[in-house]
Structure 1
Amino acid sequence: MSDPKTINAYTNNVAEYLKVPLPPEQLTSRQEFADAVGKGHVLDLGSGPGSDSAFFLRQGLSVHALDATPAFVDYARANGVDAHLGTFDDVTEVAAYDGIYASFSLLHAPRKDFPRHLAAIHRALKPQGVFFLGLKLGTGEHRDHLDRYYSYFSQTEIEEALADAGFTIDGIRTGIGEGLAGSYDGFILVLAHA
């Protein structure tokens, strides 16, 4: 994600973002991701202020966090997370991670780039590496009232894109949650492996 308006929206709302509670489904899926990885090195892709990264560190995982918002990276670093400034296009490693966690981050990339990003994630995972993907469900592309750019997908589109990228889906959860913009949106949480 390198959309300046989206980055600016997050920069101006760090404190508010930190107050947004995770829905129960996401808390459960996050723990399942950590359990599935077990031990090893994970990438928190679109890590935000590093809350999930900190959780994974407490679970005994080694974490590399990547986000395009400088204010988020600074906050995460100040709280002990190995956070780096970067975009989805900076995922260029090959067989480097035991797990990749992309929680509501890839939805900020253009729809046309989604297959390319999934392919890069697949390459960056070790064989049988674990992938978590959280997205909002819907259609099209648009900006919310905070001026953040969003791409929406149906569950079928997500399942097909993951299969095309070489992933095997291990579990799917759906739900409805309130985000930073105050809207309630349907979401999907997918646990898969390379």
Structure 2
Amino acid sequence: MSADGRPAGGQRAHWERTYTEHPGMYGEQPSAAAVHAAGIFRAHGVRDVLELGAGHGRDALFFARQGFTVHATDFSPAGIGQLREAARRAGLPVTAAVHDVRQPLPLPDRSAGAVFAHMLLCMALSTAEIRALVAEVRRVLRPGGVFVYTVRHTGDGHFGAGVGHGDDIWEHGGFAVHFFSRALVDSLAEGWVLDEVRPFEEGELPRRLWEITQRIP
């Protein structure tokens, strides 16, 4: 747990242990969010994608199979190791690096055509850390670049359940989530073109999410 009471540090250990004990835990099929995002990227002429919070790489590998050049990051060395091995076996154009998104993104300014993040921004990040990350995404995107991200929101069944850490972060079963309000989504899109806030459901409960698409003008 971090000094301000949030479980950010413990979550890194949680995911490292999870990927180590359950290799390829999400399977080989891409998420529905990645399939939807690929269509958006093609419509905007995107050729390269930076994926944040890629885990063991099911979506990164999918993007590469769709013809995109992919750079993927995650803060779990175990997850990144599995991704690299899968990309090597498949001969796909994916590079991968261990990175904590609470630090500046390891890319130059205006170097990416698109950024994709499935359920990363709703991890145990404070609102201030989320704002800093979105600013970093904007920095690395080229003019006209596209940012697609998904988050669990305050209409989700787990919002308000379990252990509360403040800042709309709730921990349930050892997994901490920052549940997004629509006001937070809108504020993160200030200065961007907000194209879509698409509701969808995933997994058990079911989890209720938004897939947000925003672009640099």
- Indicate the TM-score class for this superposition, using the shorter chain for normalisation: 0.7 to 0.9
2:96 maps to 1:83: yes
Letter of the 1:141 partner, please give it: I
Q: Which residue does the alignment assign to 2:164? A: none
Task: Report the TM-score when normalising by structure 2.
Answer: 0.76
Query: Are 1:192 and 2:207 counterparts?
Result: no
Question: Residues of 2 paired with 1:150 and 1:111: CA distance?
Answer: 12
Give secondary structure in 1 for the equivalent of 2:27. helix
Give the deviation of 1:29 after TM superposition.
2.0
Match of residue 36 from structure 2: 29
**One-letter amino acid of the counterpart of residue 186, structure 2:** E
Q: Secondary structure at the match of 2:134?
A: helix
Q: Give the TM-score normalised by structure 1.
A: 0.85
Larger radius of gyration: 2
Which residue of the partner structure matches residue 46 of structure 1?
Answer: 53
Separation in structure 1 between the aligned mates of residue 126 and residue 18 of structure 2, nearest angstrom: 18
Q: Which deviations, in whole Å up to 9, do the C-alpha atoms of 1:18-49 show, x marking residues without a partner?
A: 278734xx255223233134343220111111
Cα distance 1:20–1:32, how it changes in 2: closer, same or farther (>3 A)?
Answer: closer
Contact 1:106–1:114 at 8 Å: present in 2 too? yes
Unaligned runs of 5+ in 2: 1-7, 88-93, 160-167
CA contact (8 A) 2:24 2:82 kept: no
Aligned residues: 186
**SS of aligned partner of 2:25:** helix
Identify the structure with bigger relative contact order (alpha carbons < 8 Å, sequence gap 6+). 1
Gaps spanning 5+ residues in structure 1: where? Answer: none
CA positional deviation for 1:114: 1.1
Identity fraction in percent? 21
Q: How does 1:102-117 map to 2 (within 5 A)?
A: 102-108=117-123, 109-117=125-133
Code of the residue aligned with 2:39 in structure 1: it is: E
Whichever structure has more helix as a proportion of its residues is: 1
Q: Which residue of 2 aligns with 1:135?
A: 151
Q: Deviations over 1:91-112 (max 9, x none)?
A: 1531110000011112112233
Structure 1 segments of 4 or more deviating over 6 A?
Answer: none
Cα RMSD for the two superposed structures: 2.2
